A = this chain, B = another copy of it.
Amino acid sequence: MLSSTEENYLKAIYKISERDNKAASTNAISKEMKTTAASVSDMLQRLSSKGLTHYEKYKGVTLTEKGNKIATALIRKHRLWEVFLVEKLDFTWDEVHELAEQLEHIQSIELVNRLDKFLGNPKFDPHGDPIPNADGIFTHRRQVELSELEIGESGALVGVQEDSSTFLQYLDKMGLKLGVELKVLEKFEFDSSVKLLVNHTEQITISNKVCKNLFLKK
């Protein structure tokens, strides 16, 4: 069995490889995990010796099939617990991340599968991120960044890239929750901000940075 620390490294490697589409560098991992490069270097050798990663000195790491399986299972647990916290315990979407970080380390396959069933086998978490099934298969959803839409186009908000509290609370303030219908009314070249029509009624303007963090389904 792995320690929580080892599990967190696997998750970080998974996340970084996914994002950058290449081996995760020591530095990228140290930044993600808010630790030193020296600690990461140490750990990468341990993970490799356990057959969880492919590691070549100075070349970064990728997950082995075994490592990938564990990382995926962690993501599954994390997202299912987030659904539980929001749907059953009435937490808001900006409050659940830290708690899920703890809950994802609870060791019990039976528990997560029963939780899944109890929640009605949800396919997406409160931030719109897909929840892998017991075999580690993700439901894929075609989605585009809001910034890619042309004037006049519209779509439903189905996910967010960031999940920091500040960002999510900002979205709440602007009336932007998952499911709302958004139509691009205007694009300002000056700062790449965008004017939107929310649910066919309210008009708001959001920055380019926000746009890049919103996923729509056309």
Residues of A within 8 A of B (CB): 85, 88-91, 99, 102-103, 106-108, 110-111, 114-115, 118
Complex CA distance for A102 and B115, rounded to whole angstroms:
16
Are A99 and B88 closer than 8 Å at their CB atoms?
no
Are B99 and A114 closer than 8 Å at their CB atoms?
no
Partner of A103 from B106, B114, B118 at Cβ < 8 Å: B106
Are B90 and A111 closer than 8 Å at their CB atoms?
no
Kindly report which residue of chain B lies nearest to residue A115, judged by CB atoms.
B89
Are A99 and B89 closer than 8 Å at their CB atoms?
no
Chain B residues closer than 8 Å to A102, beta-carbon distance: 106-108
Partner of A114 from B90, B106, B108, B114 at Cβ < 8 Å: B90
Complex CA distance for A103 and B104, rounded to whole angstroms:
11
Complex CA distance for A107 and B103, rounded to whole angstroms:
10
Kindly report which residue of chain B lies nearest to residue A105, judged by CB atoms.
B102
Partner of A91 from B106, B107, B114 at Cβ < 8 Å: B114
Chain B residues closer than 8 Å to A89, beta-carbon distance: 111, 114-115, 118
Chain B residues closer than 8 Å to A115, beta-carbon distance: 89
Are A108 and B118 closer than 8 Å at their CB atoms?
no
Smallest CB-CB A-B distances: 9 pairs: A89-B114, A102-B106, A89-B118, A99-B108, A88-B118, A99-B111, A103-B106, A89-B115, A102-B107
Complex CA distance for A67 and B107, rounded to whole angstroms:
27
Chain B residues closer than 8 Å to A91, beta-carbon distance: 110, 114
Chain B residues closer than 8 Å to A90, beta-carbon distance: 114
Kindly report which residue of chain B lies nearest to residue A111, judged by CB atoms.
B99
Complex CA distance for A162 and B24, rounded to whole angstroms:
50
Chain B residues closer than 8 Å to A106, beta-carbon distance: 99, 102-103
- How far, in Å, is A136 (CB) from chain B's closest CB? 22
Kindly report which residue of chain B lies nearest to residue A89, judged by CB atoms.
B114
